[in-house]
Amino acid sequence: MSARDDLERLVRSLPDDAVTDAVNFLQMMQSGPVPDLEELGRDEAFADAQRWFQETRAREGLEGPGGGIASLTSQAPGQWSGRQSFGYQQDGWQVYESSIIHEAWRFTLIERMRVDRAARTLRLVLEIAGGDGSSGRLEHVFAVNESAR
């Protein structure tokens, strides 16, 4: 039996409510042709997204190598979605900051985490700021189960 036959058998055995997740996973794993870099260089939306990522890194003092990871994907010609993320320590907090583009919308997501070993808790704070100036914040404290580590 070939690997393709095995895959088809697995797909047929999936419960209906798992099919969408399986399709999404397989699409994420799919690799396509390498984009034409000359054509990509003429895509103004792509260039604009790259500039925004570079400006964000410069504003946060993260110029040069390291400091995070970035990716952009094209949903349609001239339409880009992507994320640039980097992490750092700040006043005892582990912080992960992401500059996100979803189609034409831009926003920043900041995740802050701190463990209080004495209280056996993990505090998680999520902050989001939209390009329109709006913002939101969510804070939650989790009990830390040492045996789960």
Mean pLDDT, residues 64-88 taken together: 68
State percent of the chain over pLDDT 70.
66
**Does residue 2 belong to any structural domain of this protein?**
no
DSSP assignment string, 35-83: P-HHHHHT-HHHHHHHHHHHHHHHHTT--SS-S-EEEEEEEETTEEEEE
Evaluate if pTM is beyond 0.85: no
Q: Which residue has the higher pLDDT, 90 or 67?
A: 90
Mean pLDDT, residues 35-52 taken together: 65
Domain assignment of residue 91, given as a range = 32-148
Model pLDDT, residue 125: 97
Number of structural domains found in the chain: 1
